[in-house]
Every structure is written in C-alpha cells, then in structure tokens.
Structure 1
Amino acid sequence: MSEPGIHLFIGFRGVGIEEELKYLIREYRPGGIVLFKRNIEGREQLKTLVESAQALAMEELKRPIFFAIDQEGGSVQRLFPHFRSIPSARSLAEQGREAVAQWAETCAADLREIGIQINFAPVLDIVSEGKQHFMETRSFGSSPATVSDLGTIWIETLQANGISATAKHFPGLGRAELDPHHFSPVIAYDKGDDFYEDLTPFRSAIRAGVNCMMTSHAVYRAVDNLYPATLSNEINQRWLRERLGFGGVLFGDDLDMAAISENYSPEETAFLGLCCSMDFFLLCQKSESIEPMHRAIADQLDRNQSLQGFHCATIQRLEMLRLFHFPE
C-alpha cells in the first residue's frame, strides 16, 4: 500500500506541539519537518518541540520522522541567536580546512542536542570570483577544487558526528543570475565543459558518502531545455542517480518558491517529481500547499502503476537513512 505522505517534508507555524502541527502529522503523515526561526524561541523550547513532535509521530505513525534545518552559517542559520553563530562558507574558506572541520563539529553538536537529524548544508555551488551574486557568501568560493575539498570536510565531519549533510543545489546554482525564491533562473553555459566543472563538488560529495542531496530550481538548457532541475528526469535520474551513482535521499528545494509554484500545478509537480526519483517534496512556507500536494502525490501513485517503483525505491532509501539516525 502506498504511503504518499512519506514524500512530504513540511514547515509549519508555531513554537510548540500545537493544533496545527498535531493536525499536519496526523492528517498527512509526513516523512519530515523542516524548522525555521519562526519555530524557535530558545534552546529548551526547541528541544521540547522536537521531542513532543517525535513522540506524537511514534504514537500516530508508528515510525520516527526526520527533522531538518538550514544551518549553513553566515546569513543562513536558523538557530542563531539561541545557539552558536557559525561563520559563512566564504569566511570559513578564508580561515582554512581546520576551521571548516571545527565549525562543522560545533554545528553537529548543536543539532544533536536538539534532536535534528538533517542539516541542509553544505552549499556546493561554485560562484565566480568578484561577481556580485545572491549566493556569494553562501559558497566556499570560485575554485572547483576548493569547493570540493571544503565541502567534503563539512560533509564528513557532520556525518561522523551523527548528522546527515545535504549537498546543494544540484547540479550547481553558482551561474544563475536570478534567485529562484522569486524568479525562474535559466543557466546557459558559456563553454561546453562548464556543466562538468559545476558537477565537480557534487562528485566529491558522492564519493564522500553524503546522505542527502538537494536540487536547484534553475533550468539547465544544455541538459534539459524543458524542466527545472528539481523536476528533470534527465538531471536527477539520468545524471545524478545513474551516471554519478548517488543512492542517497534526494530533496527538491522548497516547492513554495516562485520558480516552481508559479509555473507548475501540484499535479504536475507530483508526477514529474516522482518520475525523476525525488524522495522528499519540500514545502516550507505555506501550510495551504500541503493538502493539494499530498492529494496530488496520492492520486499519481493510485493512477500510475509505473510510479510505484519510484515510491518503493524512496521507501528503501528512507529506511537506510532511518537506520543511520535511529539504529535498532
């Protein structure tokens, strides 16, 4: 029997196990919950929230749920000021390899204390030197070798300390001129080998055993002229899964972003996402997006037997992730 809700990774409003969160867990049976600053008032409050939600999931779903957060450092860290402030990726790159390892260990300790399993980091996008870019401080730099090296240290340190890392934004967002939160970026490569260069850090992440990967919402015309990477079978199934050999858990970046929500219906997103082996459909900002997406995934799994194989593969990958975090 299909379990459509397991594909959902959702955000919510509130700072406790209030009626909204109880309803979302019971009604949609999500695979995971993503936390934001709006959910955090302090250390003990956050720990109580996570413990209470996890207890409810075990009672209602008979399985744990995953908790995730964006704790990259710099401008993207949801735990500050209640937990230690982490320098940006660009700042860490200037400090060197030892600093990356030390701060990744610090980050892992904070997440473990709370009960969070997944960090939506590191950013492995390569951003050109001297270019004003919306990803500039979130990137380790402009050198594929540097981004690969420091990204690998971040991944290996997090996971050695019990936290799943998430390499993002596959297959690379550093050449995008528009922010997918608000627009639909299109990436046209200047040179034939630019695509392969941008893949370098992701190849390294896969070799390092990264548990999770997150897609970009950009369109990569040289690879798939029709669909953004998040919904592209060519990029996610053919390249990421088959050619690069990634067997871990794949997140689509937040589907509430304009690049997806303003161009694709829930039905289209569900079908295309399942077809390209997306494991988690991330819905961060709008609670009203959850019901239509849940219904769309359920309908697609009911109507299209061909999608059952992708669903079963997701179940297997999530079981491996569960054993990493909740060993029996």
Structure 2
Amino acid sequence: MSMNRKIILDSRPQGMPEPRNFAFQEEPATAPAAGEVLVKTLYVSVDPYMRGRMNAGKSYAKPYEVGGVMGGGAVGQVVESAADSFSKGDIVSGGWGWQTLAVVGAASLRPIDRELAPISTALGVLGMTGLTAYFGLLAIGDPQPGETVVVSGAGGAVGMIVAQLAKIKGARVVGISGSELKNSYLKQELGVDAVVNYKTDELEEALEAACPDGVDVYFDNVGGEISDAVLRRINKNARIPICGQISLYNLKQSDQGPRVQSILLTNTALMKGFLVGDYAKDSPQALKELAGWLQEGKLKHAENIIEGFERIPEAFLGLFSGDNLGKQLVKVAEVE
C-alpha cells in the first residue's frame, strides 16, 4: 500500500517559526470515495499568509490545528478517481497542502491545462498569486496612465506581478525590495521605472527621489516602517490596497506605528484590505486575461523552486529572510 508523507504543525511558534514547529508523519493512503480523487503531489506552494494561520488567534482564515496537516496550494496528478469530472493522469490544483498523497473532493479542484503554460504556474501567475495581484491592483488600486504606483515586497511573487500589471496599465512603477539582485531583475527584466533597496538605501531620501510627484497607488505587501514612509507621500485620492504585512508576522508584541487616519482624511485616500476569495466569481475572467498577457509576453513570471518534500519547511522559513526571487515552490514529484 502506498504511504502518504505529511508535514503537520507540531507546535505554535512564538515569533519567527523554527523547524521544531513542524513534524513529519506517514500513514497509508486511502482510496477515494464517490466524488473524490486520490492525488499525487507534484508541487507545493509556500506563502507568507501561512504564518498567520499558525497562530491560534482570529485571522482572515481558520488557524491551522496543532497536529493537523499544513494546508496550502498544491498541484498534483490524479492517480485514482471516483469522480466523473476527473480521470487518472489529469493535472489539478487545490488546497490539500503539505502531503504527498491526498484524497480530495473533486468539487474543490481546478483542472490544469498543461499545454497553456508550465503546470507550476497554477500556483503562481495563473493561480492565487496572480489573482491576488490582479484584484488588489486593478479592483482597488485602479492605476491610471501616468500615475505613480509604489509596490513594496516588489521582488516577491505577488509584487512582481503587480509591478507588471501596473506597467501594462501605463503607470510609472516604483519597486521596493531588500536585495540588489531583486531590484536589478525588476528594472532590467520587468521594466520597473525606479527601485528602492530598503536595507541599504536611506529610505526617506530614496523614496523622495523615486517619487518626485508623490504616490497615487501604494500596493502594500509589508507594512511597518516602509509603509509609514510611503504613506507620508500619497497624493490626493490615492488608493492603498493592503495585501500583506510580512514585516509584522513574527513580532511577539503588537506593532506600534503612526496613526494614518489623518493622512487618509486630508488626502481623501482609500485604504482597503482584501482577500482574493472575495473576487471568486470574477476569477475565471481574470485568469483568462492573465494567461493572455503571459502568452503575449507582456507578463513574465519568476519561480524559485526547491526540490524535495522534506525541504518544504526550509522553503517556507526562507520567505522571511527574503531568499526567494518571485514565487517560492517546492517540487515534490515528476509528472507520470
């Protein structure tokens, strides 16, 4: 009988997660019941939002249970089907998380066309990552030609797509990251107009030089002092989509920062948090547009792929030191 290897949350972290917060387990894989499929994992996504779900407190998604499998996006291949909608060999994506074999309800799976793009893109530019960038920027940020769009975490998976979508819409784009390698990629490969390295640049001076006409849209992936500095430069009627706050995820105490209400009020600005699931009904059309831009060469995607199921925790922890250029994935198995 085939064995399912899985990674569980063994304990809740205090501050930065550590390898000891995870544990590896094995159990026999079960056969799918009616309406289910047995899926072999090919790729696993690791994402910053997972850190919030490791806590017990209220968040935008149900916390992971101690002793339960770490959930998250995955791409796999159907090895056994008890559902009319899928056959053995089909490539699918879903949220079964950090395990090698999973029984999944067919209704929760999305079929992947392997001819459209590499199947790994279903976890990136043609998956939740791309949709997050699309809806956050276009539905909330609504960039107009000639406006200045600032993207923090611009070297990460979502940030890179946001920067490119803003360029497609005719905006002037400023990317903020903590790496010269990432900033070089943003400028040379993605056509970003100006970059700021928050680790080596004097942040206030660098932002002033990069945004001489102020900021019309700020796509916030990081929060903290970076966002404080950007918000001081917003223009009248600015829009601020809040996607993530990675600088705060591992703090042991609540963050204390400037109160932004007066900035928003005096600039009649909009700041709005969002979840990609809020736009589920519009996702098929968004994926169609993203795929079109990808095929036309207007949209590039960068992936950082680590191989080996046992390295999933390592890949996840690397997110918080900025190791990844673009989307961080772990390759678990080959397509058969």
TM beyond 0.5: no
Q: Give 1 or 2: higher helix fraction.
A: 1
**TM-score when normalising by structure 1:** 0.31
**TM-score when normalising by structure 2:** 0.30
